[in-house]
Amino acid sequence: MPPPEPPEPPEPPRRVARLPVRARTGRLLVLATVFVCAACGLVYELELVALASYLIGDSVTQASVVLSVMVFAMGVGSLLAKRLRCRAAVGFCLVEAVLALIGGCSAMVLYASFAWFGGARYALVAFSLAIGVLIGAEMPLLMTLIQRVSRQDAGGTVADLFAADYVGALVGGLAFPFLLLPRLGQLTGALLTGAVNAAVGGALVLWLFRRDLSVRSRWLLLAVSLAVVSVLAVTVVFVDDFERAARRAVYGAQVRVAVQTGVQEVVLTGTPGRGPVDLYLDGRLRVSGRDEQRYHEALVHPAMAGRHARVLILGGGDGLAAREVLTYPDVLSVTVVELDPFVVRLARTDPALSALNGHAFRDHRLRTVTGDAFHWLRGAARGSYDVVISDLPDPGITASTKLYSEEFYGLASRVLTDGGRIVVHAGPPAGRPRTYWTVEATLRAAGLYTRPYRVTGRVSGFTGGPDRDPSPDGSAAPRDWGFVLAARTPPRLDLGAGTRRPRLLTAAALRAGAADVERLRVTGLPPSTLVHPRYTG
């Protein structure tokens, strides 16, 4: 017979905390702290994803970077926390103070990096690592603390901790888009979340576990917690000044409107009557008063060559595409489908922007619809429009990828009359050729014949800003716009016969642009679909 196995050594007795309350109450307080810390941690995470998508673009890539780096860092933090378990209360309080300071200030630092240094990628990775390590260190320390409160089997303790953690994450995940972001904004929301995080973490340790702390430790932790909360509170007071300074660094000194709507951040710059008006949506230039006419003439007039009694504009809440359409007296109706009602309201009421769009919204032929273009097309009647104009954000922006999909173009072609045309803004063919030709391939996959074309130009008086590429001397910026005209039968590339002929675009330039863009053609690209998006930022 084999010799009997030696008995396992007894588990060392757990140190039981001397609590000012009953063990059951203490356990509930620890679980409540887990709940709050989990909610704050998820807010930091979502804040990084949202701000990175806004500042850098391509939300799928940025979310993947933030989440993967943070999950990796959480594992590292869990390992590092093993060294702190012998002084779990002190370690947890310090971890929460540092996490509150870094997480609370992360949005401001990212915005400052973008505004004054032109990029935020490295700062994004650094904050993802730091916040992930600190979040990962929380759970081992909380596990140690809750076991000191009351004796319970490890399985039950882990179940309670993770239940509180997951419910807290749910609350934080819902609070960010529905409460913090619309009510407080990204910067203030992050700062107040950090203050709550530091206050709750410090209160748990300094009250519930105060009898296990030396006098020196209590004063040290109190000073650290109060310092962090004070720094965050003072920063909240000055956050509006910081935001204005950062906006001036990004957009220039003439910011007139800056509003975070329920859809996006809308910034309007320029003084009426004293210079060009620029409209930015989520940090990207959407309308430049210096060159918008060249863009909108090229977008609208080729599609109007043919029957155009009823016109649908997808996007275009600024009214500039509608301005070009309404120059045709035989247009009976124009429907503008815009996601953000604030953009339409701004285009109606702002003196400079309404002057730029020729007061298009006063025309009785124009009606606006607030809604997502994809979902709106699903309910639109077949054969309703002679012309569909897609004036949407660049396809490289992930949020708009579905609006450049084969399914979307199938819906758009369904609302066309016989002989109707659709024109799509497809991005710069020279700067992002694969994106541009993927749009063209996707239109063909939807059963449409295509005619690609481009227009180029140079903008004088360039001042810099997002999505602008200045020339080396800073005096002018080359612009390159690519479009695709499509129809169920091979479309004719020509200019429509409006009352006001295009001022900048000629038929010869249009044909030259069509020939020029063919030299950049990228072949063999698959179409983009909802389940297989092919666009990148």
What residues are labeled active site?
A: 391
Distances (CA, A) of 375 to 371, 380, 384, 386, 486: 8, 9, 16, 20, 21
H-run or E-run covering 455: strand 449-460
Query: Are the beta carbons of 351 and 357 closer than 8 angstroms?
Result: no
Residue type (1 letter), 455 = V
The two tokens of residue 80 are 């590092």
Distance CA 412, CA 422 (A): 8
Query: Are the beta carbons of 144 and 88 closer than 8 angstroms?
Result: yes
What angle is formed at CA 68 by the lines to CA 439 and CA 39, rounded to 5 degrees? 110
Contacts (Cβ under 8 Å, ≥6 apart) of 351: 272
Distance CA 438, CA 440 (A): 5
The two tokens of residue 67 are 């989440």
Distances (CA, A) of 93 to 81, 201, 208: 13, 6, 12
Locate all alpha helices (DSSP H) within 309-372, ordered by sequence: 320-325, 341-349, 351-356
Distance CA 102, CA 109 (A): 9
Q: Hey, is 501 helix, strand or coil?
A: coil
Query: Are the beta carbons of 120 and 56 closer than 8 angstroms?
Result: yes
Closest CA to 168 of 197, 188, 148: 197
* Matching residue, tokens 């002057």: 355
Query: Are the beta carbons of 110 and 131 closer than 8 angstroms?
Result: no
What string of H, E and C letters represents the secondary structure of 261-314? CCCCEEEEECCCCCCCCEEEECCEEEEECCCHHHHHHHHHHHHHCCCCCEEEEE
The two tokens of residue 306 are 């043919």
